[in-house]
Amino acid sequence: MSRYRGPRLRVVRRLGDLPGLTRKTPRKAYPPGQHGQARRKRSEYAIRLEEKQKLRYNYGVTERQLVTYVKKARRSTTSTGQALLQMLEMRLDNTVFRLGMAPTIPGARQLVNHGHVTVNGRVLDIASYQCKPGDVIGVRDTDRSRKLVEANLQFPGLANLPTHLEFDKSKLECKVTGLIEREWIALQINELLVVEYYSRKA
């Protein structure tokens, strides 16, 4: 299943607030479609599926990528759900978004893919790169890259910077000091339901 490229507000209406997907808020509060306003009882499977879809759409990963992350999370020493969220949050595109260098995660992915971002002094265009403690994330030393990032920093997607990132705005340089803590994850999600969804499918 490929990455979603359709209307973003339609997804937000169905799944709720997704801070990484879009900054816009829908005018209608009910889900899209002919039966959007009808009250319907959701099955346990539907609830788990929605939680899984929140992760997919917010972080912009494909189904195959998400399955790979779940498998890696199961092998970690911490709880599977927490490890899964940490891996998604520590992706380079999400870290660039959390710094305010881009208004959304798709915008941050484009910034990375076009070679505007450096990691440890080298241009890195792999959006899925896992940022590690000690990594230094910066902006490519060109006028175009710096102007683009400086313009985005005027209106960051999320106001608060997580404690695992130390950002020097004058140098446009950030040091990763650790792994993100659960309370700093902006997405409203029950990660245990996502783990249950995949454990029942396996």
175/188: higher pLDDT = 175
pLDDT tens figures, 92-117: 999 999 999 998 888 999 999 999 99
Q: What is the pLDDT of residue 70?
A: 94
- Residues 142 and 197 reside in one and the same domain: no
- Residues 48 and 73 reside in one and the same domain: yes
What type of residue is 175? K
Report the range of poorest mean pLDDT among 35-49, 82-96, 127-141, 180-194: 35-49
Domain CATH for 68: 1.10.1050.10
Q: What is the pLDDT of residue 188?
A: 86
- Residues 105 and 172 reside in one and the same domain: yes
Residue 41 lies in a domain: yes
pLDDT over 90, % of the chain: 56
Residue 3 lies in a domain: no
Give the DSSP letter string of the chain.
-PPP-S-HHHHHHHH---TTT-S---S--SPSSTTTTS--PPPHHHHHHHHHHHHHHHHT--HHHHHHHHHHHHTSSS-HHHHHHHHHHTBHHHHHHHTTSSSSHHHHHHHHHTT-EEETTEE---TT-B--TT-EEEE-SSHHHHHHHHHHHTS-SSSSPPTTEEEETTTTEEEE-SPPPGGG--S---HHHHHHHHHHH-
Residue 46 lies in a domain: yes
d(CA 132, CA 26): 35
- In this predicted structure, the answer to whether residue 158 has a pLDDT above a threshold of 90 is no
- Residues 55 and 29 reside in one and the same domain: yes
pLDDT tens figures, 30-88: 555 544 455 567 788 888 988 998 898 889 899 999 999 999 999 988 899 999 999 99
- Residues 142 and 116 reside in one and the same domain: yes
Residue 58 lies in a domain: yes
Residue 156 lies in a domain: yes
Domain CATH for 110: 3.10.290.10
What is the number of structural domains in the chain? 2
Residue 2 lies in a domain: no
Residue 23 lies in a domain: yes
- Residues 65 and 129 reside in one and the same domain: no
Q: What is the pLDDT of residue 18?
A: 73
d(CA 96, CA 165): 11
d(CA 111, CA 45): 36
- In this predicted structure, the answer to whether residue 1 has a pLDDT above a threshold of 50 is no
What type of residue is 152? N
**Which residue segment(s) compose the domain that 22 sits in?**
8-87+186-201
Do 103 and 109 meet the contact criterion of CB atoms below 8 Å apart?
no
